Amino acid sequence: MPSPYREIFTAPGTKEFSIAGLLGRMPLSMTGIGIVTMVSQLTGRYGLAGALSATLALSAAVLGPQISRMVDRHGQRRVMRPATCVALLAAAGLLISAQQGWPDWLLFVFTAFLGCVPSVGSMVRARWAAIHAGSPRKLHTAYSFESVVDEVCFIFGPILSIGLSTAWFPEAGPLLAACFLAVGVFWLTAQRATEPAPHPREGGSGGSALSSRGLRVLVATFTATGAIFGSVDVVTVAFAEAQGHKSAASLVLAAYALGSCLAGVVFGLLHLKGDPARRWLVGVCAMTVSMIPLQLVGNLPLLAVALFVAGLSIAPTMVTTMALVEQHVPRAQLTEGMTWTSTGLAVGVALGSSAAGAVVDASGAVAGYAVSGAAGVLAVAVAFLGYRRLRRPAPQRHGPSVPQARGGSHAYDGDDHNKGCVA
């Protein structure tokens, strides 16, 4: 591992919570596409599959920030475990009702409760922020590493989910995702030394983190960006089926994530200067331009290449987004602020997957990629309109400091002058 990445793991407990976070985040890439694959296998209805995936994303968008806000106020362990139990019960109900062919409305009810899944990525990033609060360079590397972990999930998650559901039985993918969630969350919350201390007063007195104008720009832009991801997932599965190789969809989507993963590794080694808002805007534009080749591909190998290139802009944009979130929200609401960006993505995924499923049912798989292109154009438009807000210093930034980990001495940074952050 390159030196900058070794440095961020010098703090005790970082390896353990990173592994737990990896397991807990696997459902992020497995559940939605697993539901699409399961339902399309059992019913042949991509419209229903896309609508259920959209329901999951919308439910997570509504519940996720509220769960994260409670985490900021009461701590990760006290909130994440009960929320995860609700999600696991909902997952069990969804699998049983789908397998038994129960009414569609029941599928939607269980899928809605499945949105109680905590934002594990935000929880892990909050731990990094508590440990390396005094070192922007290390925090940049840590966020880059987490972006790489996200993409590792998106490389292997769809392969496992789609592969198991098509080769074994339709419910296998979502079932494995639920197992990953249970192991990851309960292992993560068992690690108390690196858990950020809660801030019941600071986290609750300032209202929602979404009161930040800069955060609202990020969330709105990422709503459109999420529509890119949601539509690409649904359309790629349909495209692969139309080509006679449905199980290959997981490999094609893995190429998308692999491009982002490689870009994230390189980006974490860089210590760029200048305006992060400008880098973010360039990243959003690059993501949009990368959707153009998808309209032209005619076979799976070319689609995989096009998606790999498209993925190169994802991780750097996500890393820069997290840096901007840290600048524009009160530090005692950092987990909630990070979750709101995920919420924007989730809403976009819901809209994109639903729209793409309807277009695929009506006009075929290739036509569905037009949804991805339109979403990219919208993302660029919103990003340009809100760009000035991201460049303005956020007065909330001068609020309470990033909470230390509970372990006190474990909330440490490798540089002497960065130690002793105020809890």
| CATH code at position 185 | 1.20.1250.20
Q: Is residue 4 part of a domain?
A: no
Which pLDDT band, with edges at 50, 70 and 90, does 393 fall under? low
By residue range, what is the domain housing residue 184?
11-195+209-397
Q: Is residue 419 part of a domain?
A: no
Could you give the number of structural domains in the chain? Answer: 1
Distance CA 260, CA 305 (A): 13
Distance CA 44, CA 46 (A): 6
Q: Is residue 331 part of a domain?
A: yes
Which tens digit of pLDDT belongs to each residue from 303-326? Answer: 999 999 999 998 889 888 887 887
Which tens digit of pLDDT belongs to each residue from 93-123? Answer: 999 998 888 888 999 999 999 989 888 988 9
Amino acid in position 55: T
Q: What percent of the chain has pLDDT over 70?
A: 90
Closest CA to 329 of 394, 268, 379, 277: 394
Q: What is the DSSP letter of 2?
A: -
Q: Is residue 403 part of a domain?
A: no
Q: Is residue 50 part of a domain?
A: yes
Distance CA 417, CA 287 (A): 38
Q: Is residue 411 part of a domain?
A: no
Q: Is the pLDDT reported for residue 44 higher than 70?
A: yes
Distance CA 33, CA 51 (A): 12
Q: Is the pLDDT reported for residue 395 higher than 80?
A: no
Structure-model confidence comparison of residues 212 and 21, the more confident one: 21
Residue 188 near residue 118 (C-beta atoms within 8 A): no
Q: Is residue 5 part of a domain?
A: no
- Cβ neighbours of 193 (radius 10 Å): 15
Q: Read out DSSP for 173-212?
A: HHHHHHHHHHHHHHHHHT--TTSBPP-HHHHHHT--GGG-
pLDDT at 247: 74
Structure-model confidence comparison of residues 20 and 411, the more confident one: 20
pLDDT at 206: 55
pLDDT at 201: 59
Q: Which residues contact 111 (CB under 8 A, 6 or more apart)?
A: 35, 52, 55, 56, 59, 90, 94
Q: Which residues contact 180 (CB under 8 A, 6 or more apart)?
A: 23, 24, 26, 27, 30
Q: Is the pLDDT reported for residue 69 higher than 80?
A: yes
Closest CA to 408 of 202, 224, 194, 210: 194
Q: Is the pLDDT reported for residue 186 higher than 70?
A: yes
How remote is the C-alpha of 295 from its chain's centroid? 25
pLDDT at 334: 77
Q: Which of 50-54, 60-64, 313-317, 346-350 has the lowest mean pLDDT?
A: 346-350
Which tens digit of pLDDT belongs to each residue from 276-295? Answer: 888 889 999 999 999 999 88
Q: Is residue 202 part of a domain?
A: no
